[in-house]
Amino acid sequence: MKSSHRFYPVNERHAFTLIELLVVIVIIGLLAGIGIASFNGAIARGRDAKRKSDLAEVQLALKQYYLDHNTYRVANAGHTSHEGEGWITANTTTESNYYADSIIEVLKNEGYLEVDVVADPTLGITGGHIIVLCESGQVYALFTQLEEPTDNDTAKADRACGVAVSASWDPVNSYNKNYVVTNKLY
């Protein structure tokens, strides 16, 4: 009786060919590359969310400060030649020739700010958040640099005081700031 089954010798091995292994390695590499790119984008969006959250906290503190002082110009803080303006976290320790107390420190010490607003996660103390005042301290603009700004973010920053108004310095063009929180757009 003839069998239709084909029998292989016991010592013959079945393995993947070199081409099959290379194809699998290439596919795994592509998937890993896509995953890493997505992960890096998520990290950047997380840092941008932190920046926006920090500016929202400072905005609330400035509104409370305004109710007590009728100005957004924080006294004895910020750049020495532009009181109440400049890098919001810079102080005499970080920039001794140009800065008085940090705007953040003064707002916190006076009870207007409860949370710690730290330096920008990637740009540091003098490279992160900036405040510009216009109209004799009645208008503020808090600027930062997002890693993934929208066109709307950039357009809004271009219409804030300090950019649209002739201010002493321009955060958008001089420091590449592309996001703003303000109480008035021009």
Per residue in 117-147, pLDDT tens?
Answer: 766 777 765 568 889 998 888 999 999 999 9
Mean pLDDT of the region 150-162: 87
Q: Report how far residue 112's alpha carbon sits from residue 59's, in angstroms, rounded to the nearest whole number.
A: 10
- Predicted local confidence at residue 127, as pLDDT: 66
For 59, counting Cβ atoms within 10 Å of its Cβ (0-12 exposed, 13-18 middle, 19+ buried), the class is middle
pLDDT in tens, 38-57: 788 888 899 999 899 889 99
Alpha-helical runs (H) found in 18-143: 18-69, 103-109
pLDDT band at 186 (very low <50, low <70, confident <90, very high): confident
Model confidence band, residue 104 (pLDDT cutoffs 50, 70, 90): confident
pLDDT reading at 161 higher than 90: no
Residues in Cβ contact with 160 at an 8 Å cutoff, skipping those fewer than 6 apart: 132, 141, 143, 172, 180, 182, 185, 186
Q: Is residue 18 over pLDDT 80?
A: yes
pLDDT reported for residue 176: 86
* Cα–Cα distance, 115 to 98 (Å, whole number): 25
Q: Where is pLDDT greater, at 96 or 54?
A: 54
Tens digits of residue pLDDT in 62-78: 999 999 999 999 998 88
Contact call for residues 172 and 133 (beta carbons, < 8 A): no
pTM of the model: 0.76
Other CB atoms within a 10 A radius of the CB of residue 56 amount to 13
Dihedral Cα 116, 162, 140, 54, nearest 10 deg: -20
